[in-house]
Structure 1
């Protein structure tokens, strides 16, 4: 049994008030992950980072999150999940305030890493606390649906809020907006959230901690930089370190991460769903944001508004998914959600040329609806783990999302880039390397060429749109395969409303 302050019999009103605190904090963290994409041009203009520094501004957050998810989740199980969450709020808020004094790229990179540490403390803590707050499976499934809806809403609102803030203030506002919300979250968390922990955590595994941090950082870095020698060295190191870590977890009585949770087919199904949807979504959202701005000519704020159909579909379907699962079965909803999202990706491939926003809006709505039904994935993952192992289950799910996002940009993003380059014919006298590097570089070269660059710009925009369609087909295929795998893994009689 998990130790839960005031016992597990918290009043219904307090449970749902506590969920509001957890959901709003998750909303802000997810928003912060997407808001940087809008703020980067203004940051670059002010701080003048070189290419490597700009890369680290983006990577520092995800490397910190991915490296620390397992460790902070295990610490939360031992030290107290509420303590970990409140500490994460405090660190996230403090790092956001410190941005005011960031005068060079190195300082901002360090603060982005600190924000990543705070994010790693917050995200799995919110999920594991829901597992222990809501002991009734039916209530827990509904709570996880709301939690998932907040994550989807945060991803959609990040670019919109960022665009609004940057139109009125400096780029610092994109970080300072976190501060009042985190202050309120600390106060509300202290008042409403009960403490919970694993009463029998066993001995701390110091070597396992080092292996998990080093292995995950190496894995994420290697995936991001797989095209160069350093990336391949990092991937090889990750294979050794994480292999050692997994073996250590399987042979210890009190492992840092409960790998044996994968022995449950339903737990594995939920993890597969989380990983594959994250792979497909990360690449497609990145490509669509570029398509809207560089092909359609929308501003960052207009782009954020036009991405809203995804959030709308997820926001509506996520809270309804548990009731739908109770009626037609969790397996049907989980696998069906993957197929609906896959249909959204397929729309991008089969839509008539030239691709227009109407087809894109339909695709985004279907993807959001499919993602909404995947709130069941969180319920399946958490239901497949005992309360005392909630931290491990949360760490595995959040790692799946984080790793999936990295893999999506690296693998499907590379596919899009390769197809884009294959459709280009660089005119004589044009800088071939710059033109083939990205659509943004090609359009810049076309502008510098004056009247003669108009044809290059048209060709580059057409090539990018075609690469978007091909990547949509690849995402659809991935989600189809995942849907079949999830259907096969999930027990037919699995119920999220029965006590285990």
Structure 2
């Protein structure tokens, strides 16, 4: 196999593995009802089944990427493949909530080794910056597709098999990736990595896991909840201490000095804010389609597909567009496009109750997917400005932006939607707490109240739709402000066809 063909075949392995890891973040949302019926977890256990994957993955990202820089990025990636496949296989033996939580935690460990390693391997495989930008476009498209395809795959599998199938589908793919990776991927590492910083390792794990837990808990119980405040306090202390250690050492665990570069920071801001928007939209529109419009999980997954399809088209085309109009315009324009997509449901009452055409929602999803094309340029900007020795640090910072952005999108915009729903629904009848807690709770109560229940269900659905419009308006303001920040941080005439060291 020639060098060029080998590189692109290796990219297929890297992109396929990212597709699977991202799908695993969303696949559980559809499988949860079946898992609840089978394993009967209590509310705390259910929370951990959902959250432990992203908590472990986020907590280990920095450590896993630093290990890859020292130990070998190919070795770290293949280890991640093996762990992910074995953990998925172990789901067969999960017959209690505790064992499924352990399986999800092990999947998070595997994912932490896979995600940053794929990015730093692309940095190593594609030395030509223009070719690297195209490769990162493919990688970004697969990541975007994974988020949307997860629920659809889960829906298809759960109609025919038990919930275990949602995990077992990973096993053959990871086995194939392991075999192909051994053959196709070259080894690379930082030749002068410096001493391992054990204190920084512990601080990064504790800080990132606490930060993500605080954000998730705030989304469910509010900012003033004692657990939220305690987790946020631990995260603030640990991450500040971690940052100080990294900035003072000549050989830090994570090269935070990369953030001093304007283009690098612009890429990180793009990754963070686009992830916030994508996660919030998929969550909130998914709820709207099922609870307001009455679609099944499978029908909902299909109707969310335009976002993934648009991202699949836009991401590979983004580098060519950047070569014509400039990286700055594509980077900032992609974020602005996402903002406009969120503005559409805010300005037009497309989310109201009733048989309204799906067209405007599909248009908003297409715009969000097209805006995701900016992520390909964000990755290219981040990697173009990074020396090969610190590729792991760059990949860890980008992946951390995705993880934190996704969690913030669900927690912050999800909380805003919940608060808007409670404010819009003035209900003082039976089971008032359940009704004002969520639309699902309101519909459950309405089903027991006869004629009065029908009026309650109508009012609750309208309150939810109204709250979504306001939430998307706030999201649009955030994205348009981020677009301006990205424009200011990115230098005019930034050229991705030349390396920047």
TM-score strictly above 0.5: yes
Query: Aligned partners of 1:10, 1:379: CA distance in 2, in Å?
Result: 24
- Which residue of structure 2 lines up, in the alignment, with residue 116 of structure 1? 108
| 1:220-250: CA deviation from partner (whole Å, max 9, x where unpaired) | 1111123220110110111111101000000
- Which residue of structure 1 lines up, in the alignment, with residue 288 of structure 2? 291
- 8 A contact 1:280–1:478 mirrored in 2: no
Among 143, 149, 165, the alignment partner of 1:157 is: 149
Query: Aligned partners of 2:4, 2:166: CA distance in 1, in Å?
Result: 35
| Residue 50 in structure 1 maps to residue 45 in structure 2 | no
- For 1:246-285, what aligned pairs fall within 5 Å after superposition? 246-285=243-282
- Which residue of structure 2 lines up, in the alignment, with residue 234 of structure 1? 231
- Which residue of structure 2 lines up, in the alignment, with residue 305 of structure 1? 302
The TM-score normalised by the length of structure 1 is: 0.97
User: 1:384 and 1:98, CA in 2 relative to 1: closer, same or farther beyond 3 A?
Assistant: same
SS in 2 for 1:374: helix
Query: Aligned partners of 2:181, 2:467: CA distance in 1, in Å?
Result: 46
SS in 2 for 1:477: helix
- Which residue of structure 2 lines up, in the alignment, with residue 325 of structure 1? 322
The Cα shift of 1:280 comes to: 1.8
Query: Aligned partners of 2:149, 2:196: CA distance in 1, in Å?
Result: 39
- 8 A contact 1:338–1:374 mirrored in 2: no
Among 111, 131, 145, the alignment partner of 1:139 is: 131
Query: Aligned partners of 1:15, 1:381: CA distance in 2, in Å?
Result: 20
- For 1:282-431, what aligned pairs fall within 5 Å after superposition? 282-352=279-349, 354=352, 356=356, 357-428=358-429, 430-431=430-431
- 8 A contact 1:284–1:471 mirrored in 2: no
Query: Aligned partners of 2:375, 2:287: CA distance in 1, in Å?
Result: 26
Query: Aligned partners of 1:233, 1:101: CA distance in 2, in Å?
Result: 35
Structure 1 residue ranges without an equivalent (≥5) = 1-8
Query: Aligned partners of 1:218, 1:340: CA distance in 2, in Å?
Result: 32
- Which residue of structure 2 lines up, in the alignment, with residue 189 of structure 1? 181
The Cα shift of 1:159 comes to: 0.8
- For 1:163-202, what aligned pairs fall within 5 Å after superposition? 163-202=155-194
| 1:318-339: CA deviation from partner (whole Å, max 9, x where unpaired) | 0000000000000000000011
Query: Aligned partners of 1:431, 1:499: CA distance in 2, in Å?
Result: 62
- Which residue of structure 1 lines up, in the alignment, with residue 473 of structure 2? 473
| 1:39-61: CA deviation from partner (whole Å, max 9, x where unpaired) | 00110111111111110111100
- 8 A contact 1:60–1:109 mirrored in 2: yes
The Cα shift of 1:427 comes to: 4.3
- Which residue of structure 1 lines up, in the alignment, with residue 122 of structure 2? 130
| 1:4-49: CA deviation from partner (whole Å, max 9, x where unpaired) | xxxxx98111111100100001111111111100100110111111
- 8 A contact 2:270–2:374 mirrored in 1: no
- 8 A contact 2:349–2:469 mirrored in 1: no
- Which residue of structure 1 lines up, in the alignment, with residue 499 of structure 2? 499
The TM-score normalised by the length of structure 2 is: 0.97
Query: Aligned partners of 2:196, 2:374: CA distance in 1, in Å?
Result: 37
Structure 2 residue ranges without an equivalent (≥5) = none
The Cα shift of 1:197 comes to: 0.5
RMSD: 1.2
| Residue 453 in structure 1 maps to residue 450 in structure 2 | no
The Cα shift of 1:157 comes to: 1.0
- 8 A contact 1:334–1:373 mirrored in 2: yes
The Cα shift of 1:451 comes to: 2.8
- Which residue of structure 1 lines up, in the alignment, with residue 443 of structure 2? 443
Query: Aligned partners of 2:105, 2:348: CA distance in 1, in Å?
Result: 41
- 8 A contact 2:385–2:499 mirrored in 1: no
- 8 A contact 1:132–1:196 mirrored in 2: yes
Query: Aligned partners of 2:349, 2:438: CA distance in 1, in Å?
Result: 24
SS in 2 for 1:43: helix
Query: Aligned partners of 1:436, 1:454: CA distance in 2, in Å?
Result: 16
Query: Aligned partners of 1:467, 1:294: CA distance in 2, in Å?
Result: 14
Query: Aligned partners of 1:379, 1:267: CA distance in 2, in Å?
Result: 10
| Residue 221 in structure 1 maps to residue 213 in structure 2 | yes
Query: Aligned partners of 2:346, 2:360: CA distance in 1, in Å?
Result: 10
Structure 1 residue runs of 4 or more that deviate by more than 3 Å after TM superposition: none
